């Protein structure tokens, strides 16, 4: 009787443990669905860029030098002034050049008088020689004098032109329309021919020179669009075009020269700024492109999670060209696939998912 009473509590405990329906069932032990976001895959186009850094320069950039020597008597411009073609930048003392012009003019007058006399004498001698009134030797002497007079007249004309040029060179003028960037001389200073006096730039059109690698040069063509960013203006993108791609690599850098031109319409860019340049090199059309963050590495292979009937399915993929934060998928995904884009770290193959947002 005592043995029977000992067994009864055990049976009672077992029955009590099974008392509530559903407790301890498989359904209650299944993990809750992982909340995720998904994006429907579509084919699109993407442009690969070649990137480089260079210094912006003005397309018209002229360091104006004095062609004549002398003392500076005037500097009518300051930094920031706008000048036109032929605008006066520096004035040199013109006293001696002006005197040289007057002397050359006087010599020309004398040469003209001598030439007129010699030509008149040659004309008279020609009639006399034809009538036999003067000898051949006399005629040749008169003719030689006329030729010499013409030579002296030409020399005097050239001397006057040279003196006039030296006088004009006392006014140093701008060969381009632009803005004064630097003034290198001041009033009273002595300058020699060839001395730089004023720096003028026209920044309406700018350019950046880059070097690109041989694997990129075949994809970049003249006229390709370019995007330019400068550090003083973060977030702003300026548009440009490729002017040329060099046919030969530089011996030192082993890169091919490339020039990008930019129209500086609003004047925001300045010569001397360091520019980060992105050049459109290759357009890939009708491809599947996804964010690199949506790809994970599983067993040494790239993979993604695809939502299939509220289940996360791991899908191996083959990757192509990487373009910034995006990558081209060569195989493993098709249009219409729903790619898991948020919540990847909590997923495993076959996990239940609850879709919060679908893009």
DSSP H helices in the chain: 2-17, 26-29, 95-131, 136-168, 214-217
Residue with tokens 């993929």: 317
Taking the C-alpha atoms of residue 49 and residue 244, their distance in angstroms, rounded to an integer, is 16
pLDDT, residue 275, reads: 95
Q: In what order do the strands lie in the sheet with 70-74?
A: 171-173, 88-92, 70-74, 190-191
Query: pLDDT value at position 28?
Result: 56
Number of other residues whose CB lies within 10 A of the CB of residue 172: 22
Of the CA atoms within 13 Å of residue 249, those in its CB half-sphere come to 12
pLDDT of residue 349: 81
Residue of 277, 315, 274, 311 lying closest to 294 (CA atoms): 315
CATH topology classification for 94-168:
Helix Hairpins (1.10.287)
Domain ranges of the chain: 34-44+286-358, 51-59+202-283, 94-168
* 86 in Cβ contact with 170 (< 8 Å): no
* 89, 174 contact by CB (below 8 A): yes
CA distance 287 to 44: 5
- Radius of gyration of the CA atoms of the chain, in A: 44
pLDDT number for residue 60: 93
Predicted local confidence at residue 3, as pLDDT: 43
Same fold, 51-59+202-283 and 94-168: no
What pLDDT is attached to residue 109?
96
Q: Indicate the angle between helix axes 95-131 and 136-168, nearest 10 degrees.
A: 160
Q: What pLDDT score was predicted for residue 18?
A: 47
Mean pLDDT by 10 residues, the chain (359 residues): 42 43 55 85 85 93 95 96 96 95 96 94 90 88 94 96 95 95 95 96 94 88 92 92 93 93 92 93 84 82 88 87 82 87 82 77
Q: What is the CATH code for 34-44+286-358? A: 2.40.420.20
Pick from 141, 140, 144: which is nearest to 152 by CA? 144
The pLDDT score that the predictor gives to residue 29 is 65
The CATH H-level superfamily of 51-59+202-283 is: Efflux pump adaptor protein, beta barrel domain (2.40.30.170)
Q: What contacts 254, CB < 8 A, 6 or more positions away?
A: 214
Predicted confidence at residue 358, as pLDDT, reads: 65
CA proximity to 205, closest of 259, 144, 149, 265: 265
Residue 300 to residue 329: CA distance in whole angstroms: 17
């Amino acid at each position: 009787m005592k043995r029977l009473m000992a067994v009864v509590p055990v049976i009672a405990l077992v029955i009590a443990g099974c008392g509530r329906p559903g407790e301890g069932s498989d359904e209650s032990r299944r993990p809750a669905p992982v909340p995720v976001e998904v994006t429907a895959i579509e084919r699109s186009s993407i442009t690969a860029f070649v990137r480089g850094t260079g210094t912006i320069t003005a397309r018209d950039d002229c360091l104006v030098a004095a062609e004549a020597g002398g003392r500076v008597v005037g500097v009518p411009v300051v930094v920031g002034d706008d000048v036109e073609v032929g605008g006066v930048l520096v004035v040199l003392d013109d006293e001696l050049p002006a005197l040289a012009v007057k002397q050359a003019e006087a010599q020309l007058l004398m040469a003209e008088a001598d030439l007129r006399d010699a030509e008149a004498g040659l004309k008279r001698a020609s009639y006399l020689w034809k009538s036999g009134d003067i000898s051949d030797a006399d005629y040749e002497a008169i003719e030689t004098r006329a030729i010499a007079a013409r030579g002296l007249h030409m020399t005097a004309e050239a001397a006057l032109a040279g003196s006039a040029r030296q006088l004009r060179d006392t006014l140093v003028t701008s060969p381009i329309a632009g803005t004064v960037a630097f003034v290198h001389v001041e009033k009273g200073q002595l300058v020699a021919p060839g001395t730089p006096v004023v720096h003028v730039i026209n920044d309406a059109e700018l350019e950046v020179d880059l070097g690109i690698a041989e694997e990129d040069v075949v994809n970049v063509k003249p006229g390709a669009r370019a995007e330019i960013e400068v550090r003083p203006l973060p977030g702003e993108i300026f548009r440009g075009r490729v002017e040329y791609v060099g046919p030969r690599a530089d011996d030192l850098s082993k890169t091919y020269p490339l020039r990008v031109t930019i129209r500086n319409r609003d004047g925001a860019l300045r010569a001397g700024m360091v520019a980060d340049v992105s050049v459109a090199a290759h357009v890939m059309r009708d491809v599947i492109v996804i964010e690199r963050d949506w790809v994970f590495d599983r067993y040494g292979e790239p993979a993604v999670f695809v939502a299939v009937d509220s289940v996360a399915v791991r899908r191996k993929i083959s990757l192509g060209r990487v373009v910034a934060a995006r990558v081209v998928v060569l195989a493993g995904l098709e249009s219409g696939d729903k790619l898991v884009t948020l919540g990847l770290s909590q997923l495993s193959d076959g996990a239940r998912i609850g879709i919060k947002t679908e893009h």
